[in-house]
A and B are shown apart, each in its own frame.
Chain A
């Protein structure tokens, strides 16, 4: 059942550029970006039980990595940009994690918030280095060595870049799936369920949390690179704490207790936000109200709701 749904979704994604207007397809790109970023985020939140309220840090590092590499260092290769930005994010993750994995719950959240805000203030204030509140431009990269110079920006984005990102999502999604179903994943979940007992069973809690944190940073950065190439700009608000809040929102909207939840959440949120922004100037209010409704009424998110409805339908 699940495999059928995934295949169907994939088919839809691949068919989109051919059937929808480019405007809508360009909306799917941020959804793909967030889907990847959230896969990483939920490794920490859903599986390891650690709520980071500063995850936007890694998305921002990815974005600024793409910006600096493409517009200031003349790097054209998308692959190089991805790898270098992700490596930067992982390097940043390690000291943060070393500090943060000592703690759980609220302290972990505050610590991660502090680090992301530190980066934000650095980006915002050091105009000469970081472009201040305008940010830095992101130039179009080459994909697998090919320039696609004949395509204009939109055609590039909804064409080869789009398919590349879908492929990235599939590959990274598959890897994450293997990861959470591996012995490492089992130990991670055990550490969340009962830290003390898991230590008595030989689980190296701090170490695996560190690894999970680093992996989540990698995914966050990849998402950030895609976001930045899509908009053509890396700006400091990517690192602001409310952006981290949105990441959590998306994850919980989709359902943090399931693997697919964050993916569903990313797509739903991006479209929801876009529709609301078009419908009213008070879209933040409605987004907030939706989040409130989820927290109070549907904590298991859309996937949880779907599973429940499916279970009820099967009984009848």
Chain B
């Protein structure tokens, strides 16, 4: 399988400080890859490179075969990559429907329609409703985003990213701020929706190792700017050295499995 998105021996240095030191990573269609590692390991830098926010000091980053060094979020959104953030971003005075519509407009290339009426565009409205239903937001379609609960805002954030119909979606700690009871539900919802929406690969940045173990097809562990491990969950958690480095001592299912 050829890689949908990949980094080839990327190095990123900020002056003297080397954030990433030769990271090669390939993500193919159908994969759900989790990027894990302690703070300072280089996760944020890697994510910024993968999403075109920064250009590598050396090495290359490719999306669908094209170099995307530093192209920026707008271009990538149009090429088929979406990103949802840890900290929730909304458009305070726009409704749920309008928020999702922003993405749909970008996707369908209608942004330069200066005189068409967005409110009565049947195709856009249908798509907006479709996406809202996937995330259970259809009853709040005409509520302004600032009046949504924190959880609903989070869902809207992810939903609007989905509305871009991306091929790759990068989720930055999607369950942070979500109560433990809801975390699994949200993850399942997101992954199912992704499949339905035609998303081909998911990149997950997560600290919650339960979720990582449960939903990833592959785990990439970073440490000090290098790839420590790049394996399927079963192999990953079977290796006590890796577990100790990334997970530390844990009481729970993982620790029991590892032993």
Interface residues of A (CB under 8 A from B): 175, 178-179, 181-187, 189-190, 193-194, 196-205, 208, 211
With A193-B91, A199-B72 as known contacts, state yes or no: A186 contacts B164, CB within 8 Å.
Answer: no
**A189 partner residues in chain B, CB cutoff 8 A:** 91, 93-94
| Minimum C-beta distance from B118 to chain A (A) | 5
User: In the docked arrangement, what's the CA distance between A166 and B160, Å?
Assistant: 42
Check A182–B94 contact: CB distance below 8 A.
no
Check A187–B105 contact: CB distance below 8 A.
yes
Q: List 24 A-B contacts (CB under 8 A).
A: A175-B115, A182-B118, A183-B111, A183-B124, A184-B111, A186-B101, A187-B106, A187-B111, A189-B94, A193-B92, A194-B91, A197-B89, A197-B157, A199-B72, A199-B73, A200-B77, A200-B83, A200-B161, A201-B103, A201-B164, A202-B77, A203-B74, A203-B102, A205-B74
B49-91: CB near A (< 8 Å → 1, else 0) gives: 0000000000000000000000011100110001100000111
Check A200–B115 contact: CB distance below 8 A.
no
Q: Which of B82, B90, B121 contacts A200 (CB 8 A)?
A: B82
| Minimum C-beta distance from B124 to chain A (A) | 8
User: In the docked arrangement, what's the CA distance between A76 and B113, Å?
Assistant: 35
Q: Which partner residue on chain A sits nearest B88 by CB separation?
A: A197
Check if B119 is an interface residue, CB within 8 A of chain A.
yes
User: In the docked arrangement, what's the CA distance between A205 and B94, Å?
Assistant: 17
**B121 partner residues in chain A, CB cutoff 8 A:** 183
**A186-B101, A202-B102 given; 18 more Cβ-contact pairs under 8 Å:** A179-B114, A181-B118, A181-B119, A182-B118, A183-B101, A190-B94, A193-B90, A193-B93, A199-B72, A199-B73, A199-B74, A200-B161, A201-B160, A202-B74, A202-B106, A202-B164, A204-B74, A211-B112
Check B114–A184 contact: CB distance below 8 A.
yes
**A187 partner residues in chain B, CB cutoff 8 A:** 102, 105-106, 111
**B119 partner residues in chain A, CB cutoff 8 A:** 181
Check A186–B90 contact: CB distance below 8 A.
no
Check if B142 is an interface residue, CB within 8 A of chain A.
no
Q: Looking at chain B, what size class is its interface with the partner chain?
A: 35 or more
**B116 partner residues in chain A, CB cutoff 8 A:** 178, 182-183
| Minimum C-beta distance from B148 to chain A (A) | 14
**B110 partner residues in chain A, CB cutoff 8 A:** 183
User: In the docked arrangement, what's the CA distance between A196 and B73, Å?
Assistant: 9
Check A204–B94 contact: CB distance below 8 A.
no
Q: Which partner residue on chain A sits nearest B92 by CB separation?
A: A193
Interface residues of B (CB under 8 A from A): 72-74, 77-78, 82-83, 89-94, 98-99, 101-103, 105-107, 110-119, 121, 124, 157, 160-161, 163-164
**A203 partner residues in chain B, CB cutoff 8 A:** 74, 102, 106, 111
Check B93–A181 contact: CB distance below 8 A.
no
User: In the docked arrangement, what's the CA distance between A211 and B161, Å?
Assistant: 25
User: In the docked arrangement, what's the CA distance between A203 and B103, Å?
Assistant: 8
Q: Which 6 A-B pairs have the closest CB atoms?
A: A202-B106, A202-B77, A193-B91, A197-B89, A183-B105, A183-B110
**A193 partner residues in chain B, CB cutoff 8 A:** 90-94
Q: Which partner residue on chain A sits nearest B78 by CB separation?
A: A202
| Minimum C-beta distance from A5 to chain B (A) | 20
User: In the docked arrangement, what's the CA distance between A205 and B105, Å?
Assistant: 14
With A194-B90, A201-B103, A202-B106 as known contacts, state yes or no: A186 contacts B98, CB within 8 Å.
Answer: yes
User: In the docked arrangement, what's the CA distance between A248 and B72, Å?
Assistant: 34
User: In the docked arrangement, what's the CA distance between A197 and B158, Å?
Assistant: 11
With A187-B105, A201-B164 as known contacts, state yes or no: A182 contacts B77, CB within 8 Å.
Answer: no
| Minimum C-beta distance from B221 to chain A (A) | 26
Check A179–B77 contact: CB distance below 8 A.
no
Q: Which of B93, B115, B157 contacts A182 (CB 8 A)?
A: B115
Check A178–B117 contact: CB distance below 8 A.
yes
User: In the docked arrangement, what's the CA distance between A196 and B89, Å?
Assistant: 9
Q: Which of B78, B92, B118, B157 contacts A183 (CB 8 A)?
A: B118
| Minimum C-beta distance from A260 to chain B (A) | 18
Among B83, B110, B114, B161, find the residue whose CB has the most chain A CB atoms closer than 10 A: B114
User: In the docked arrangement, what's the CA distance between A205 and B107, Å?
Assistant: 15
Check A182–B114 contact: CB distance below 8 A.
yes
**B92 partner residues in chain A, CB cutoff 8 A:** 193-194
Check A198–B102 contact: CB distance below 8 A.
yes
| Minimum C-beta distance from B254 to chain A (A) | 33
Q: Which partner residue on chain B sits nearest A190 by CB separation?
A: B102
